[in-house]
Amino acid sequence: MAPITAGNLPRVAIIGGTGYGGAELIRLLHAHPGVALVRVTSIDHVGVAVEDVHRNLGRTGLVFENLSPPAAAEGMDAVMLALPHKVTATVAAELAELPVRIVDLSGDFRLRDPAAYQKFYGVAHPHPSRLGSFVYGLPELHREAIQTARHVASPGCFATTIALGVLPLAAAGLLRGAVRTVAATGSSGSGAYPGEGTHHPVRVNNLKTYKVLDHQHTPEIEQTLADAAARGGHTPAFSLLFVPVSAPLSRGILANTFVDLDPSVDDAMITTMYRSFYGASPLVRVLGSKRQAEVVAVKGSMWADVSWTVGPVVDGRRHAVFTSALDNLIKGGAGQAVQSLNLMLGLPETLGIDAVGLWP
């Protein structure tokens, strides 16, 4: 167990620390000035120093422990769950009975509809009555709810990227009909364990689509955009057609979302709308139509960049493309989970996650 130098710091444990998400959580929380990371559990590498597995880390004073979830949560102010989908569902439900804050990085509590979970995750949810009991951890939409939440479901990487690209449109009731997105992601989104589709010699020379119109983040994005529309007083009247692309890069997501708008909507109106909507969001950069969002500008950082191109009016509708980019492991993963943790603990929202990115 790491020595605690400030006894009043909130104590945090990570359950599931050997994957990429867990590694990023350890990196961020170990250096975080407002919390004490005191425990990391795993069923792998038990008793091994954390830095011997994640060799980018300096000395942490931590070893991987094989503990039951309640034992891992004992004495903690917060627990971060970095476990696979379908595994987390039972663990989180067990911990939800304890007086500890939970931030879950899996998809098991993001959806409110059990039928949607079963369709897109391939199994019935083991605790369907708990769906909807976790606050969806997208601060740009649910900041106030996260601040008072005990349990948060941190969003998916594709879901965060795509939603941030068009949230202001949804809130203004401007999304109508089919919303089409093509989004490319890096290989780290597939997890730490290699598979046929992520094997480096193949992926580094390749571009391919997968889970076309059937990705598990589809209902999550639709739910998020519908929530934004409802908050703006609008009845959702759109659906998402999502094509994911496997890209030859390690980390990052770039999403292009095609939207047909009312002909009266122009670049100036969109600029005003986006700057107003994201005015209180410290980690979203609204680039507008003069600069394009790109992965290299957000790699290794918590920034989410949003840009757009406003096209002509065709068949009575204004065509536009909204481009969004972020690092899938940070703003799309562990960093966003820490962002929610900060809000839950009453800490400054960007504390411990405001480091500059990597270039190139």
Residue with tokens 């509590």: 109
**With DSSP H G I counted as helix, E B as strand and the rest as coil, what are the percentages for the chain, rounded to 5?**
30, 25, 45
Contact 353, 302 (CB under 8 A): yes
Q: Which residue has the tokens 């391919």?
A: 208
**Which one of 79, 93, 157, 293 is the catalytic residue?**
157
Contact 270, 320 (CB under 8 A): yes
What Rg do the C-alpha atoms of the chain give, in angstroms?
A: 20
- Angle of helix 334-344 relative to helix 139-147, nearest 10 degrees? 40
Sequence-distant (6+) residues with CB within 8 A of 40 are: 13, 14, 17, 22, 26, 50, 62, 63, 64, 65
Both tokens of residue 134?
Answer: 């976790």
Catalytic, 157? Answer: yes
**Residue 82: phi, psi to the nearest 5?**
-120, 55
Q: How many CB atoms lie within 10 A of CB 134?
A: 23
Q: How many helices and strands in the chain, by DSSP H and E?
A: 11, 14
C-beta of residue 34 within 8 angstroms of C-beta of residue 345: yes
Give residues with Cβ within 8 angstroms of 225, minimum separation 6.
163, 166, 167, 170, 175, 179, 236, 238, 240
Provide the angle, in degrees to the nearest 10, between the axes of the packed helices 157-171 and 267-277: 110
| Separation of alpha carbons 58 and 66, rounded Å | 22
Are the C-beta atoms of 158 and 215 separated by less than 8 Å?
yes
Q: Give catalytic residue positions.
A: 157
